[in-house]
Amino acid sequence: MRKIIAGFLIMISLFSLAGCGQEKKAAETDKTAKTITIGIMPDVESIPFIIAEKNGYFKQEGVQVKIEPFK
């Protein structure tokens, strides 16, 4: 029984130490603008997307958005 408990304690210690590894630098974001296409239905639930595009909220956040209604 003591060997089992000792084994679990060793495993927990190893997993804890593995989580304390070196930090990796975050990958630099791609500076090229990409376009996101949002498909909307002709109903009132799509109004926030239309208003955000008309008021330039997407451009303020640096996102190019193309809104296409479903046919």
Residue 16 has pLDDT above 80, yes or no: yes
In a domain, 25, yes or no: no
pLDDT tens-digit profile of 53-64? 999 999 999 899
**How many structural domains are present in the chain?**
1
35, β-bridge pairs: 64
In a domain, 22, yes or no: no
CA 26 to chain CA mean position, Å: 13
| pLDDT in the model for residue 39 | 93
In a domain, 56, yes or no: yes
In a domain, 70, yes or no: yes
In a domain, 61, yes or no: yes
In a domain, 60, yes or no: yes
> Is the overall model pTM greater than 0.75, yes or no?
no
The secondary structure of the chain, three-state, reads CHHHHHHHHHHHHHHHHHCCCCCCCCCCCCCCCCEEEEEECCCHHHHHHHHHHHCCHHHHCCCEEEEEECC
Q: Report the percent of the chain where pLDDT is more than 70.
A: 82
pLDDT tens-digit profile of 19-36? 776 666 655 555 666 899
Residue 42: which domain range?
33-71
In a domain, 63, yes or no: yes
